[in-house]
Structure 1
């Protein structure tokens, strides 16, 4: 299992809108992205994280280049961000 973690700095006032984007694209992610296994929204005081589960590093990397991610998710979140997202990929040992 491979996890793609995207940490987002989003003001409290914009978090509901960001959660709406997460909900809007969760099903298309799970049903159309190669190797997609899971997608979870994690909320902390400091930030919001989206944790994506994949079957391989290659599929996680490919998602970051996909139209769903670049044209839909990123475009929707961009006006809500207070800083550039932090993207990390982890492989389960």
Structure 2
């Protein structure tokens, strides 16, 4: 059972939905294969926002992911060019 969620919310221009989907598809396997405690990753697409939900074994695994090279040098760099605002990042624990 999943114990923690990392939620990244981005405000984007509607025309960028395809680009966000491409980034999601590009990094999904690396996330699942390389990141400790990674269980799943989901992309939620709205009119002007997208949310990337990362599911982890523990909240600690989610916090550690935020300091990885994959997140900071690959995923975040790719997403920043599409974001209208600063990404909102939250971690939730399942009780």
Match of 1:30?
Answer: 32
Q: Where do 5+ consecutive residues of structure 2 fail to align? A: none
Match of 1:39 among 23, 38, 41: 41
Scaled by the length of structure 1, the TM-score of the pair is 0.96
Bigger share in helix: 1
Match of 1:20?
Answer: 22
Match of 2:79?
Answer: 77
Where in structure 1 do 4 or more consecutive aligned residues deviate above 2 Å?
A: none
Are 2:53 and 1:51 aligned? yes
Match of 2:92?
Answer: 90
Mapped to 1, the partners of 2:51 and 2:93 lie a distance apart of 17
Q: Where do 5+ consecutive residues of structure 1 fail to align? A: none
Q: State the Cα deviation string for residues 9-63 of structure 1 (Å, max 9, x = none).
A: 1111111111100100000000110000010000112410000000011110010
Scaled by the length of structure 2, the TM-score of the pair is 0.94
Match of 1:63?
Answer: 65
Provide the aligned C-alpha RMSD in A: 0.8
Please state whether the residue corresponding to 2:81 is helix, strand or coil: helix
What is the count of residue pairs matched by the alignment?
93
